[in-house]
Amino acid sequence: MKTFKKAVSCLLAAILVAATCVMGVSAGFGGKDSKEAVNKELRFNADGKFKILQISDIQDDSNLAPIAKDYISDLVDAENPDLIVLTGDNISSGIKTEYAVKKSIDNFMSVLEEKGIPVAAVFGNHDDENTKINKNMQMKIYQSYDCFIGCVGDENISGVGNYNLPILASDSDKTAFNIWCIDSGTYNTENDLGGYNCVRKDQIDWYINTSNALKAANGGVPVPSIAFQHIIVPEIFEALKEVDEGTDGAIKHGDKYYVLPETASSDSVMHESPCPPNYSNGEFDAMLSQGDVLAIAVGHDHINSFVVPYKGIDIISTPGVGFQSYGDETRGARVFVIDENNPTEYETYTHSYAEFYNNDIVAMARYQTYDKDNFICRMVAVVKYVFLSVLRFIKIV
C-alpha cells in the first residue's frame, strides 16, 4: 500500500508540475515585466500615503511551492506597496548547506527583486534552526539583492537585524514615521523558563536610545512608529478576554481559556493559541513608555489574524503565507496604509487566498491540491485542477 501511495504521489506531482506549466493561477495584476532600479529612500507619496505589505512565515525549503510563489507575486502586483516587510520564518528549519539556504531565499527574493520595491526583513525562530548558515550569513545573502534595505544592525547587542527605517515626509527630509525591525530570537536560553526567546534587555536599551534620538530630532515629539518582529509579546494574554472552559471559540493556553476581546478589529480571528515567550524583559512596557509605537506586528502563529488594542498599542497577528507548513483558509498577508496628515492613525487589512482570488474555481482547485490531511481529496483536487486549467487555457472557463 505504501509503495502504491508513493507511486501515485509521484504521478500526481508530475501532473501538477505539467498543469502549472500549462496554466498558472496568476490573476494578472499588471506587474512589472523587467527588473527596475530600486529607490531605497522611504518617503511618503505626493498624496500623503505610504503602504506596507507584511509577508510572514513563507517557511519553505529550496523548492518553494509554486502556489506560494505566484501568490506572493500577485499580492505585490495588486497592492503595489512602498515597502515590503518579511516578518520571519522566511525559510524552513534544517536547511543544511549554504547552497540550499541561498536557493530558499532566492525563491522569493528574486520575485521581489523584479518588482522594484524596497524589502526589509526580520528573522523568526526557524530561519537559523538546525542549520550551519547562521543569521549573519543569511543577512549577507539578503543584502546581495538590490531591493533589500535591511541590515545586521548593532553587532554589540543580541540578535541579528535590529534596525529602524525612517519614512520621510513627502515634501521635506523630516522623519514623519518610523519602522522598527527587531529580532525576537529563536528559543529561550536566558533562563530556565523554556519556550520561545524573548527580546533581550540590550535590544530594548537600543530601542529606547534610538527612539529618544528620533524624538529629539523631531522637536521633542515621539515619531509615530510600527514595530515588526516575528514572535508575539507575552502581553497578548493580558489583552485577550479570559473566559470559562467551553466558551464558544475559546482557545486554551495553560490552564486558562481566552477569546478575542470586543475591542478587536471586526475581521479578527484566532484559530490557535498565540505562542509568546514565557517571560518578558519589558519590551512592551518600554514601547508604551516611549509613546511612539502604535502597533507591534508579528507572524509566528500561522492561523491567527487579529488586531487587538491594549493600553494604546495594537498587538497585531498576521497569518502565514506559506503552503508547506501548517495553515488554513486565513493564509495571506497584511497591508498597512499610513497617512502623513494623520500619522498616529493607520489603516490595516489582510488578504486571504480565497478572498484575494475571489473564489476563482481554478485558484481554489489549486489551493485544494495542498490539502495535507486527506490524501484522496488531494488526488481528486489535482485531477480537478488539471482539468480546469486546461479549460481555462482554451478559454472555456
Q: Which cell numbers hold the place of 144?
A: 546581495
pLDDT, tens only, 303-348: 999 999 999 999 999 999 999 999 988 999 999 999 999 999 999 9
The pLDDT value recorded for residue 36 is 58
Does the structure show a pLDDT above 90 at 378?
no
User: Residue 247: pLDDT above 80?
Assistant: yes
The pLDDT, as a whole number, for residue 183 is 98
Per-residue confidence (pLDDT) for residue 393, from 0 to 100: 85
Share of the chain above pLDDT 90, in %: 78
- Average pLDDT, integer, range 342-357: 96
pLDDT at residue 267 above 60?
yes
Mean pLDDT score of the chain = 90
**pLDDT grade for 259, boundaries at 50, 70 and 90:** very high
pLDDT in tens, 193-234: 999 999 999 999 999 999 999 999 999 999 999 999 999 999
Give the pTM: 0.90
Pinpoint the alpha helices (H) of the chain. Answer: 2-22, 66-79, 98-113, 135-143, 201-217, 236-239, 283-290, 353-356, 361-368, 375-393
| C-alpha dihedral, 209 to 212 to 213 to 214, nearest 10° | 130
Per-residue pLDDT, averaged over 149-154, amounts to: 96
Q: Give the model's confidence band at 35: pLDDT under 50 very low, under 70 low, under 90 confident, else very high.
A: low
Q: What percent of the chain has pLDDT over 70?
A: 90
